[in-house]
Structure 1
Amino acid sequence: MIARQCSFSSRQACFLSQAVFIRDQTWIDLARFSGMNPSIWNQPVRVRNGNNLPVEVNSARMAAEFLILHWPASEEGKEKHLAAQIACLDVLEGRYGPQYAKQAFEEAAREARILVTEE
């Protein structure tokens, strides 16, 4: 696995160049997955972004970026948020099918109260 070590104090600097992922205390560049199968989901997951607008997330890579760059700060680091990050990385690395990441992302969004449900 190609990874770049970043200290937790330099987290913002790591984000400036490209989206990164944390797994086992290691920052992993999402950019390395840009040319890979995007792991498209059968149905998108609708969540609310920081402006309270609905956004459709339809792949493990898109979910990974949302988890890193757009997740509510008050909900970062919670159990389901971290589990969703790991699930997305597992899918992007080919360990599981796309629905594995989708389910984890939905659970994290529900916990963070940003999941948009049909009424």
Structure 2
Amino acid sequence: MQTAWFSKPVVVSVGVTGSTRNLSNTQQAIELLTTHWRDAGSVKHQSALRACRRATSGEVSPDIAREAFVEAAREAHILVE
């Protein structure tokens, strides 16, 4: 497994206080998707998790994983745009 870096960080709002986090790679995204996700189990959540895992194994580009993560974050209302 390798760390797949996004071309541009994804900014999300997390936790009760809504603190922001800048996610720069698939490992950070996977950690958030598996531990602190509001809509865990949704189609977009599962798609983002799968894409991030595939990017860490080199099957897809990090930017494909980034886009899937952005869509899941938007659905969960945590994406800072």
Question: Shared fold by TM > 0.5?
Answer: yes
Determine which structure has more spread, i.e. the larger CA radius of gyration: 1
One-letter identity of the residue aligned with 1:63: A
CA drift of 1:109 comes to: 0.3
Equivalence for 1:71: 37
Aligned pairs (5 A) from 1:28-47: 33=1, 36=2, 38-47=3-12
Equivalence for 1:18: none
Unaligned runs of 5+ in 2: none
1:50 to 3, 11, 15: 15
One-letter identity of the residue aligned with 1:104: A
Identical-residue share of aligned pairs (%): 36
Aligned pairs (5 A) from 1:18-37: 33=1, 36=2
Equivalence for 1:93: 57
Count of residues in correspondence between the two structures: 80
TM-score by structure 1 length? 0.64
Q: Secondary structure of the residue that 1:109 maps to in structure 2?
A: helix
Runs (4 or more) in structure 1 with deviation over 4 Å come to none
RMSD: 0.9
Unaligned runs of 5+ in 1: 1-32
